[in-house]
């Protein structure tokens, strides 16, 4: 159990996945791939209060996904996609399992097809 927890206790990964589990936060990240933006610009497309958007921004900041630069009164936000790399790497370890299942489905379907063919040629 100790090994299990050492291996999977990754607070950074927890924060990144939790940050991604919301459509507004994913939309903000996508918006920032185009160019940096001020908080008000980021909030404009959403039908929610500036305060609600600010909460989402804090979650993204704590996950290390956005950086904030204060210039006078304005807060400029930019994307930092680096933590997504670890999240993607973790998911990659499962690639063989999702393809394996599709392989099994394919094998099943082709088997079904050939048994149908055999039946109809009787």
Tell me the C-alpha distance between 91 and 86, whole Å: 9
Does 84 contact a second copy by CB under 8 A? yes
Does 8 contact a second copy by CB under 8 A? yes
Q: Which of 9, 35, 72, 118 binds a second copy (CB under 8 A)?
A: 9
Tell me the C-alpha distance between 85 and 34, whole Å: 19
For residue 44, the SS3 value is coil
Residue among 5 and 72 whose Cβ is closer to a second copy: 5
Residue identified by tokens 């918006």 is 31
Tell me whether residue 60 is exposed, middle or buried, using C-beta atoms within 10 angstroms of its C-beta: 0 to 12, 13 to 18, 19 or more. buried
Smallest Cα–Cα separation from 39: which of 83, 70, 17, 62?
Answer: 70
- Using the rule CB under 8 A, give the single segment among 52-60, 69-77, 85-93, 113-121 that binds a second copy: 85-93
Does 30 contact a second copy by CB under 8 A? yes
Report the run of H or E that residue 20 belongs to, with start and end.
helix 11-20
Does 108 contact a second copy by CB under 8 A? no
- Using the rule CB under 8 A, give the single segment among 17-25, 50-58, 69-77, 111-119 that binds a second copy: 17-25
Binding site for a second copy (CB under 8 A): 1, 4-5, 7-10, 13-15, 17-18, 20-24, 26-27, 29-31, 33, 45-47, 79-82, 84-85, 87-88, 90-92, 94-95, 97-98, 101-102
């Amino acid at each position: 159990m100790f090994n299990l927890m050492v291996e999977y206790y990754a607070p950074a990964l927890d924060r990144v996945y939790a940050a991604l589990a919301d459509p507004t936060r994913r939309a903000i990240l996508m918006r920032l791939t185009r160019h940096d933006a001020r908080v008000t610009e980021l909030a404009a497309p959403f039908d929610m209060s500036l305060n609600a958007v600010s909460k989402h921004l804090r979650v993204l900041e704590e996950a290390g996904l956005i950086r904030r630069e204060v210039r006078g009164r304005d807060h400029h936000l930019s994307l930092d996609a680096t933590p997504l790399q670890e999240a993607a790497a973790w998911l990659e370890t499962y690639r063989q399992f999702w393809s394996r299942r599709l392989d099994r489905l394919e094998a099943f379907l082709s088997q079904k097809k050939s048994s149908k063919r055999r039946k109809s040629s009787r």
